[in-house]
Amino acid sequence: MYTEVATNPSKGFHFPSGRDAALYIGYNESELSSIPETAYESFAGVGKPFDAGEIRAGEVVLDVGSGAGTDTLLAAKMVGSTGRVIALDMTEAMLDKLKMNVEKAGTSNVQFLKGSAEKIELPDGSVDVVISNGVINLVPNKKAVFRELYRVLKPGGRIQIADIVLHKDIPLQSRMNPQLWAECIVGAELERDYLSKIRDAGLVKPRLVKRIDYFARSANANTKEVAAYYKAESILINATKPM
């Protein structure tokens, strides 16, 4: 499905996507106009990680699930020539599109990394900030993800994550349906369990920055119904690795 978002973004999907979705969840016109249109046409995020904390010049940022590059390219501008953004994605078509967009933008401080969030091929303590946007809900082993984020962060480093959470649990049988995983609802967890996994990984002071009724903009009536039943929403959170 995410290959289609990359290669055929105008098709329309059950989740909000593209420019309108980015504007709805908090990006502004000037931000989007500063990057190639081919980046945000395949946008499939659920919030704006940059609203959870400042990205500073010279920092190393890891974008987990970078997609076509909306957040990667914006972060690259923020860290400047003395900083670096590492774009991690497991979808070949998204990485190919990201590389094209980086070239279009004339950006030289982006590193590409193909792989899974459950096992990140980076050294311990090598990253100042981890951003992620609507990705961790799609990963089966969320404990492994947060352990990896903790591992790659420098002491004092932080996570700034937008993701989907629930307020009503989902039966195991429904969780085994791949289509429902792709709808970004069935892979999500109860908010309290999500925050608990962040703390269990060793990250401290998880703070809820924002809630968004993300699925209100879904074009699919069934997705809206499922989201409403399980009280799914997107949240923006940050947390820190102790010094």
The pLDDT tens digits of the residues spanning 100-158 come to 999 999 999 999 999 999 999 999 999 999 999 999 998 989 999 999 999 999 999 99
CA 64, CA 110: separation in Å to the nearest integer?
A: 13
SS3 220: coil
What is the set of domains in the chain, with CATH numbers? Answer: 2-240 (3.40.50.150)
pLDDT band at residue 175 using 50, 70 and 90 as cut-offs:
confident
Predicted model pTM:
0.93
By the 8 A CB rule, do 166 and 190 touch? yes
Residue 160: its pLDDT value, please? Answer: 98
Residue type, 70: T
Residue 156: its pLDDT value, please? Answer: 98
Q: Give 198-211 pLDDT, tens digit per residue.
A: 999 999 999 999 99
Average model confidence (pLDDT) across the chain: 91
pLDDT mean over 86-107: 94
pLDDT mean over 30-53: 94
By the 8 A CB rule, do 170 and 230 touch? yes
